[in-house]
Structures are given as C-alpha cells and as structure tokens.
Amino acid sequence: MLKILINPDPILRQKAKPVTNFDDKKLQKLIPEMIETMQKSDGVGLAAPQIGESIRLAVVTYRKKTIVLINPEIIKRSLLKEWGEEGCLSVPTIYGDVKRHKKITVNYIDAQGKKQCLQAFGMLARIIQHEVDHLDGILFIDKAKKLFTLTPHESND
C-alpha cells in the first residue's frame, strides 16, 4: 500500500504535470498500487499527487467500477450545481459541504492509453471534480463551507 500524503504537504498544492509516456513501466505499476491504496483506505478516489507523484493521474471507484483517468480534462460542465458533503484521504477527519457541477463531460486517457470521453452525473461527477482539483493543487477545504471534524471514535452510523 502506498503512503498517502497529508495536508499541508507541498506536493498537494502543485499543479501536476501531464503524462506523456503511457507505456512507462512505472506508470503501469503505479495504477494498480493506487487502486489498492484507495480501496484499502476506504476512499472513492485517489489522485497521484496524494501519493507523492505530481502527474495527472487519478483513479475513482463508483458503483463497484474503477475508472483510471490519465490527463483528465473536464470539457463541459452543467449550469446546475449542488452542495454535497466531501472528505479527503489527504485531509483526514475533516469534512465539509462543497458546491459542484451536477453533470460534467470529461476527456481522459485510460490505462491502456486509449482516449475516452465520459459523461458523469451526481456522485460520480462530484468524485471526478474532486480528483481533478487535486491535479490542479486544489483541496476540497479550499471550496468547502461548514467544515467539521470527526474524531476517530465518532461514526456516521
């Protein structure tokens, strides 16, 4: 399992560099390691800067499906936005409400190096926007309202 960087690590505030070599063995090894780290950490998304790699790579899981997003670019955003509660593996125990677009269209390259286009709605759109923010050096706490802390003995049950 990879080590997740915690705010205020400076790498989390850097704009990540685009991936240019899709056959890179390091990249192909990193993708499954990121997926495993995200899953074992009970996350729904993980961006490469969170594990110390300042490259434009993120993995997200939604409805038991994992999507690998290399060089993701949100090309369309709905006018409608909605508030939703967010947390982050790099900002443990802190949560807050963030206003995000309800629907987005994102172009990206998948793990096999193929160009993809995805329309995402609701929660999947929220997760992707959160991860793309990471690639731009933005944390959810920069956008959140009503931040609150859950201590380890508290639970959402």
The catalytically annotated residue of 36, 53, 85, 131 is 131
Query: Is 131 an annotated catalytic residue?
Result: yes
Alpha helices in the chain (DSSP H): 25-40, 122-135
Candidates 75, 144, 70; CA nearest to 110 is 70
The residue length of the chain stands at 157
Both tokens of 146, joined, read 């009503």
Closest CA to 2 of 60, 46, 68, 44: 46
- 23: CB partners within 8 A, 6+ apart: 113
The residues annotated with a catalytic role in the active site are 131
